[in-house]
Amino acid sequence: MKGRPQYFHEINESGIKLLINENQGDVFNFWKILIGYCNNQNKEVDVIKIQGFIDLFKKSFLKYKYKGYSNQLELFGNLLRKWEDRYI
């Protein structure tokens, strides 16, 4: 095999939390990270785990308490169902 060696790493929960904290305030990268994480898992990702990642992002993104803001998990669930209908 020619060229530089390539390294691949599995992203676990602590890794995704680190990525979320490093990309504070970048909504596009947050969703890119979250969708990539879910897409590359061998088993179904728990909804509670996804909500935990969303809450972590909200805490880093919003300066004040976020109670009363819309729940993005419902939006993500609808997006996921549409994606599954289209590609699976």
pLDDT at 9: 65
- In the predicted model, what is the mean pLDDT of residues 43-62? 82
pLDDT at 66: 55
Give the count of beta carbons closer than 10 Å to the beta carbon of residue 33: 20
Please list the helix, strand and coil fractions of the chain in percent, rounded to the nearest 5, in that order.
Answer: 60, 0, 40
Report the share of the chain in percent with pLDDT over 70: 80
Whole-structure pTM value: 0.59
What is d(CA 27, CA 23) in angstroms, rounded to the nearest whole number?
A: 8
pLDDT at 70: 58
Q: Where are the domains of the chain?
A: 14-87
DSSP 8-state secondary structure symbol assigned to residue 30: H
DSSP 8-state secondary structure symbol assigned to residue 69: S
DSSP 8-state secondary structure symbol assigned to residue 24: T
Could you read off the pLDDT of 67-86 as tens digits, one per residue?
Answer: 555 566 677 778 878 888 88
Report the range of poorest mean pLDDT among 6-10, 49-53, 82-86.
Answer: 6-10
What is d(CA 88, CA 84) in angstroms, rounded to the nearest whole number?
A: 5
Q: Is the pLDDT of residue 88 over 70?
A: no
Q: What is each CA distance from 50 to 1, 58, 74, in whole angstroms?
A: 38, 12, 11
